[in-house]
Amino acid sequence: MAFMVSPRVRCVEEGRRSSADPRGRVPRWTAPKWSRRSSRARCSAEQNKFWTVTRLRWRVNEECSVVRKAFLEAERTTGRRRAHRRPVPQPAAGRRGDCGGYSGWRNAARSPEQPRWRRRDGGVVAVSAAYPVESIDNAARILLMLVDRPSLRVADVSTELGVARSTAHRMLTTLQARDLLRQDARTKGYGPGPALARLGIAVMGAVSLRDEARLVLERLVEDTSETAHLLVLEGTETVFIEGVESHQVIRAGLRTGQRGPAHATAAGKVLLAELPREELRRRYPGARLRGGTERAVSTRRALEAELEKVRETGYATNMEESQRDLCAVAAPVRNRQGMACGALSVSGPARRIEAELALLSGAVAAAARELGTRLG
């Protein structure tokens, strides 16, 4: 008795093409699960794929290793390395493996001229003087030029750094945007900015400025019998960085470390008067001002008019503008470049300050000049 075998089953058993499936593929539902030949084919295909991928990974790793060794060799021969890269371990002459791995190389002897490196886990510093950052170096050179020159021009910076004038102008405007430099509206020259002054105060504060200011403030308190402070400008606020309190029973208290609105304080007005009009409007973009009592100026136009009077007299007053029944007089402290790096003020009860305003303004101005002379 003859049995008929369908073309599809014959394709499964013999693995040949059939007219029922011209491409030689068998639908999954027709392939029996117990077929040994189909399971072997699936296993063989998975193994081939695995070993193909593995060989490809080996090849890529080998090529990357060759490239990395070439880069390290080039860096070692030129003597220029990146800060985040560890020096290449050099095995000692003799048997192979004398380096002892990473720990052995780390403790190996170094030549004196070999740069030392700091790792993230707290090793030695990783700075090579042979690889400076050009942009930072140029910015530092521009700031150091202010030691010998009170004002910088684009042409001077271009000649000093050996760059185009457009590049020098961008460097200066970048430093100006960070308040490290300040442009004179009349001469168009660039001088030290308020941020540079604050940096100098922060660096010198613990050693020079605060020590010198302390002596001047103590003498100022003896002469005026009122509380005296040294203040700096930060944005649109004044910061009290040093002070000496009066010995009178009714007196103004110390405010060291505190802040206040610059437009409502005597020291703030003195320091704002040193800024060009463009810089003043950048710090006060709105027409209305906030802060202080009802006696403080409340508009930018009124502030600009007040600052014109301060430029004429050389000192500023606070007549109950920051706090009721409290008045103050302030004068700028100028360095040898003529820039105001801070301000001295005396404050006390409104009745006493108003009665002795002329005497106090003269004493504060003299003390500010003395402090500027001490600072050089």
State residue 308's pLDDT score. 93
Contact 338, 348 (CB under 8 A): no
Please tell me the distance from the alpha carbon of residue 336 to that of residue 200, in angstroms, as a whole number.
Answer: 14
Distance CA 240, CA 29 (A): 86
Q: In what order do the strands lie in the sheet with 227-234?
A: 259-261, 237-244, 227-234, 340-349, 326-334, 316-319
Tell me: the pLDDT tens digits for 350-364?
999 999 998 999 999
Question: What backbone torsions phi and psi does residue 270 show, to the nearest 5 degrees?
Answer: -60, -45
What pLDDT is recorded for position 42?
57
**230, pLDDT greater than 50:** yes
Interval 203-210 mean pLDDT: 56
User: Taking the mean position of all CA atoms in its chain, how far away is CA 153?
Assistant: 25
Q: List, for residues 299-357, the tens digit of each pLDDT value.
A: 999 999 999 999 999 999 999 999 999 999 999 998 777 888 889 999 999 999 999 99
Query: Are 224 and 346 in contact, with CB atoms under 8 Å apart?
Result: yes
Antiparallel, parallel or unpaired: β 316-319 and 181-183: unpaired
**Cα torsion 280, 284, 288, 291: sign:** negative
The mean pLDDT value for 284-310 works out to 91
Tokens of 113: 């001229």
Q: Taking the CB of residue 82, how many other CB atoms lie within 10 A of it?
A: 11
Please tell me which residue, 306 or 44, carries the higher pLDDT value: 306
195-375 is a CATH 3.40.50.920 domain: no
Domain coordinates in residue numbering, the chain: 134-191, 195-375
Tell me the three state secondary structure of residue 273.
coil
Determine the topology of domain 134-191 in CATH.
Arc Repressor Mutant, subunit A (1.10.10)
